[in-house]
Structure 1
């Protein structure tokens, strides 16, 4: 079983904002923001509705990155090793 390096704190990569060049902050899995119950649901169930084709079978997560300086948002697909 593979695990997400961002979800599990195993990555120290930084991501630069395309607008202001500030360092973007990882706000977790994108599907945790779908509704009030999303963070408590099984990950594989949420992956069925995340908008990424065939994501349920792939070892990857889609994370939300937000720039604390300008508010720019970006989705980042993280492939699990």
Structure 2
């Protein structure tokens, strides 16, 4: 791996988010210089949300999930 790649990776993997490299600084890093074009990079003004990954969990949902999980261990339950 190139020294520039290791440098960027090291800056991205800092545990403390206040000390971690920002997206803007990462895009300006020399390792990404061949990919970085300030005039061809869209800017999204709203933060990205992962709401699509969150299920609305109800008691019935939990019961069904537990039931499905238990079937993985015993696919022929006795009623």
Tell whether the structures are fold-level matches, with TM greater than 0.5. Answer: no
Rg larger for: 2
- TM-score tier after normalising by the smaller chain length: under 0.3
- TM-score when normalising by structure 2: 0.21
**Bigger RCO of structures 1 and 2 (CA < 8 A, at least 6 apart):** 1
The structure in which a higher percent of residues are strand is 1
The structure in which a higher percent of residues are helix is 2
- TM-score when normalising by structure 1: 0.21
